[in-house]
Amino acid sequence: MQNRYFHFILNLLIFLLIVFQVAACAPLHLPEKTSLPFPDATTQAVVPPKSATPRITPTSGLKVDQEDLRGVEIQLWQPWFGDQESTLMAFIDEFNHLNEWGITVKVRTIGGIDALAQEVQTAWGSSNLPDLVIAYTFQAQNWQKIKPLVQDWQPYLNDAQWGIPPSEQSHFLPGIWQSSMVAGMRWGIPARRDSQFMFVNQSWANELGFSSLPITTEAFRKQACAAASLSQKDPQTKIPLSGGWMLSQDYPTIFGWITAFKGKIVAKDKPTYQFTTNEVKQAFQYLRQLYEDGCTIQFMDINPVDALAERKALFVAASSRDILGFLDAFQLTANNDRWAAFPIPSPDGKANVGIYGMDYILLQSDPKRQLASWLFVKWMIEPENQVRWSEKTLSLPYRAEALDQLKQNQHLPPSFQVVLDQIGDVQAEPALPSWNTVRWMLSDASKQLFAWYFKADQVDNLLKLLETSANDFAK
């Protein structure tokens, strides 16, 4: 038994030894080598050097070298005064000290847009003109008729070296940005934009039993008429001492009402006025009925801001730039009333807001000064500067980044936040050169609308006359 076991173990060992020897002799399964030819004794292998990606410098079409801008001075004429002027001067001082080219902007203030327009027109065609003017686009078009000196901003905006890339331009809010374009020419770069809003004394409205803002025309009528019905009267004249909506015949307010009714006063396919559309008629008829129902009040010696703070009117229409004035007025009163802003009411409650404002207008000088003017304006409208400009002046922003940042600023007046929420639903006032006069025609028509002798059934004739007169003047 032991011998069999011994032989078994011996045979097993011999078998294992043979297996190991066979495995050791077998070739390894390695990948085949690819043989490379040796270089010739007389030929050296050449390895091309690594090269950096070439930097392509954008080519400008403006034909001005950077060194040509050194020390250039430009003149800006502007119409603002007070806080607006001080803010502008602070921005200009900052640009003068920080810009890399050593450009200097010098300013002449001509208080008031009408005085400035007259000064520009007097100097038009002479050597006394500035490089930049802050004015309305429709004014610039009228100056252009005298002598073509207004320059198109498009070549500067789209320049490969000095312009704003298309990817950034796509962030401009079209409702404001496109308001300076007429017939393919960019007449201006928006310097300031405002909108016409309705303001309410909320505390007074709450006392009348209303807890929500009247965003529809029907709700607005109810609240305005309620305030008027409880108004006390002067013992001598029997004239109401307060009322619902404070009548306004200013063209921005009337344009705001038309816009709220979805009216468009310029034809889509041609530069003619259309005041006889159903939307314009409905707006005028609504306002006349509000007047006839005694739900409005008119003051000759008090401004809308004070009228609201002193409870002379439950509602007033005013510019968004007046928000700071409302803040001051309500702080001065001792009644602790609350107030709010909301879009001018519309039939369906869906806001559509009218906007207006002045532009930077570029005038012909020489290539260096014109480019320097553009670089100043470009700096002014950079997103971070637009944010600061809006925070100081409550001007509407038109770059998406600036709008987003402003909406997150909890230190801004709540009423201005309401205005910012409506920027996507804006309609700019006409940019036609004739609007310089037609706007006052619209204001005169509203005076007729609110005249004591006017009748509601005369609205059609009034608007036909306005349309005919406007288009005759525009020819």
pLDDT at residue 33 greater than cutoff 80: no
Angle at 421 between CA 419 and CA 427, to 5 degrees: 70
User: Which of the four pLDDT bands, split at 50, 70 and 90, describes residue 56?
Assistant: low
More confident residue, 372 or 2: 372
Nearest to 357 by CA among 431, 416, 295: 431
pLDDT digits (tens, 9 = 90+) for 338-378: 999 999 999 999 989 999 999 999 999 999 999 999 999 99
pLDDT digits (tens, 9 = 90+) for 114-168: 999 999 999 998 889 999 999 999 999 999 999 999 999 999 999 999 999 999 9
Angle at 29 between CA 27 and CA 34, to 5 degrees: 105
| CA atoms of 107 and 91, how far apart (whole Å) | 12
Work out the burial of residue 310: count CB atoms within 10 Å of its CB; fewer than 13 is exposed, 13-18 middle, 19 or more buried. Answer: middle
User: Which of the four pLDDT bands, split at 50, 70 and 90, describes residue 53?
Assistant: low
pTM of the model: 0.86
How long is the chain? 475
pLDDT digits (tens, 9 = 90+) for 381-412: 999 999 999 999 999 999 999 999 999 999 99
Alpha carbon distances (Å) from 349 to 195, 208, 314, 343: 17, 21, 19, 9
Q: Average pLDDT of 176-182?
A: 95
| CA atoms of 244 and 222, how far apart (whole Å) | 9
pLDDT of 55: 54
pLDDT of 110: 95
| CA atoms of 458 and 442, how far apart (whole Å) | 16
pLDDT at residue 109 greater than cutoff 60: yes
Angle at 357 between CA 353 and CA 362, to 5 degrees: 145
3-class secondary-structure state, position 140? helix
Q: Average pLDDT of 69-81?
A: 97
Contact in structure between 446 and 254 (CB atoms under 8 Å): yes
Structure tokens that stand for 444 in this block: 């005169």
Alpha carbon distances (Å) from 256 to 105, 194, 284, 344: 36, 12, 12, 7
CATH architecture, domain defined by 195-356+434-474: 3-Layer(aba) Sandwich (3.40)
pLDDT of 26: 38
- Beta bridge partners, 356, equal 194
| CA atoms of 436 and 158, how far apart (whole Å) | 29
- Beta bridge partners, 362, equal 132
pLDDT at residue 19 greater than cutoff 70: no
pLDDT of 83: 94
Place of tokens 């409870």: 311
**What is the DSSP track for 87-138?**
HHHHHHHHHHHH-TT--EEEEEE-SSHHHHHHHHHHHTTSTT--SEEEE-HH
3-class secondary-structure state, position 382? coil
| CA atoms of 327 and 324, how far apart (whole Å) | 5
pLDDT digits (tens, 9 = 90+) for 217-266: 999 999 999 999 998 887 887 788 899 999 999 999 999 999 999 999 99
Average per-residue pLDDT for the chain:
89
Per CATH, the number for 68-193+357-421 is 3.40.190.10
User: Which of the four pLDDT bands, split at 50, 70 and 90, describes residue 333?
Assistant: confident
Give the rounded distance of the alpha carbon of 260 from its chain centre: 18
Q: Average pLDDT of 84-104?
A: 97
pLDDT of 234: 78
Alpha carbon distances (Å) from 170 to 165, 218, 277, 401, 406: 9, 39, 33, 11, 19
pLDDT of 362: 98
Angle at 180 between CA 250 and CA 194, to 5 degrees: 40
pLDDT of 348: 96
Region(s) of the chain under CATH 3.40.190.10: 68-193+357-421, 195-356+434-474
Count of Cβ atoms closer than 10 Å to residue 364 Cβ: 13
Nearest to 76 by CA among 115, 134, 123: 134
Contact in structure between 467 and 275 (CB atoms under 8 Å): yes
Q: Average pLDDT of 187-212?
A: 97
| CA atoms of 127 and 204, how far apart (whole Å) | 57
pLDDT of 241: 86
pLDDT at residue 38 greater than cutoff 70: no
pLDDT digits (tens, 9 = 90+) for 261-318: 999 999 988 899 999 999 999 999 999 999 999 999 999 889 999 999 999 999 999 9
pLDDT at residue 29 greater than cutoff 80: no
User: Which of the four pLDDT bands, split at 50, 70 and 90, describes residue 2?
Assistant: very low
